[in-house]
Chain A
Amino acid sequence: MRLRDHLRKMAVRLWWWVRQTTGDAAYENYLRAANRAGCSSDLGAAPLSPRDFYLDSLRRRYSRVSRCC
Chain B
Amino acid sequence: MNLSLFIVVPIVTALFALLSPGPAAVRRISLAGVTVQLLLSLALLALYTHQRASGDASPMLFPYRHVWFAALHIDYHVGVDGISVAMILLTAFVMLAAVLVSWRIASMQKEFFVLLLVLSAGAYGFFISLDLFTLFFFLEISVIPKFLLIGIWGSGRKEYSAMKLALMLMGGSALVLVGLLGLYYHSSTPAGHSFEVAGIAATHLSLAVQRTFFPFLFAGFGIFTALFPFHTWVPDGHSSAPTAGSMFLAGISMKLGGYGCIRIALLMPGAAREYSPYIITLAVIAIVYGALATMMQKDLKYINAYSSVSHCGFILMGIGMLTSTAIRGAILQMISHGLMTALFFAAIGMIYDRTHTRAVEKLGGLLKVMPFISTVFVIAGLCSLGLPGLSGFAAEATVFIGSWQRPGASYHLATILACASIVITAVYILRATGQAIMGPLKDPNYGILSDATWNERLAAIVLVSGIIAIGVAPFWLNELIVK
Chains A and B belong together in one complex? no
Residues of B within 8 A of A (CB): none
